[in-house]
Amino acid sequence: MNDLDVDPALASAVLEIETHISEAGWDQPARLYALVETARIVEHEPALAAAMGLDSSAAQGSLTPVEQDQMAPDTPLERVLESVTWPPSVSGCAAVVERLVLPPEVDADIPEDPADAERFAREHPDRQEVRIVAGATRGGSTYCALRMRAHDDDQSVVGASDLVPGLLQLLAATLEDDE
């Protein structure tokens, strides 16, 4: 995590989500989180804050992930994000998704048809399974944490502000005002 442009509150929230999700193991459904300023929760929802172990000292400059209702398992996360909008009280959002990735040298071999491409990736001997936690804020900050199934330990989690640009753009679009 040597990226000097990283928003520490966002990075902390994304890594908190990644740690939480990793405890449940692999083959998890996609998940979506609202990121709310912890100070806002402490101020407006004191009972909830107390139940979560949050206080005013913990609230300064931090974001609290709030998991949203589970998505329909047959709807891709990317499609869900196209219809999501957040109220002004939400400072950011994050998503968790597991994907298969292939080495760049096989890009030219990937079929055009989405179903064929998915089958190709699933059957390719060099495929890697990854879990991506990506987050964005209204202020324009982004951060991703990526864990490979083949290297499934906390020390091997990779983090940076731009690991999955397409997903980050979709998340950022959910935070834009429609004015």
pLDDT in tens, 41-61: 777 676 766 676 666 555 567
Contact 159, 144 (CB under 8 A): yes
Q: Which residues partner with 67 through β-bridges?
A: 33
Q: Is the pLDDT of residue 25 over 70?
A: yes
Residue-level pLDDT at 149: 94
Q: Find the largest Cα–Cα distance for the chain.
A: 55
**What predicted TM-score, i.e. pTM, was given to this entire model?**
0.85
- What would the mean pLDDT of 74-83 be, rounded to a whole number? 88
More confident residue, 44 or 139: 139
Residue 75 DSSP symbol: S
More confident residue, 130 or 58: 130
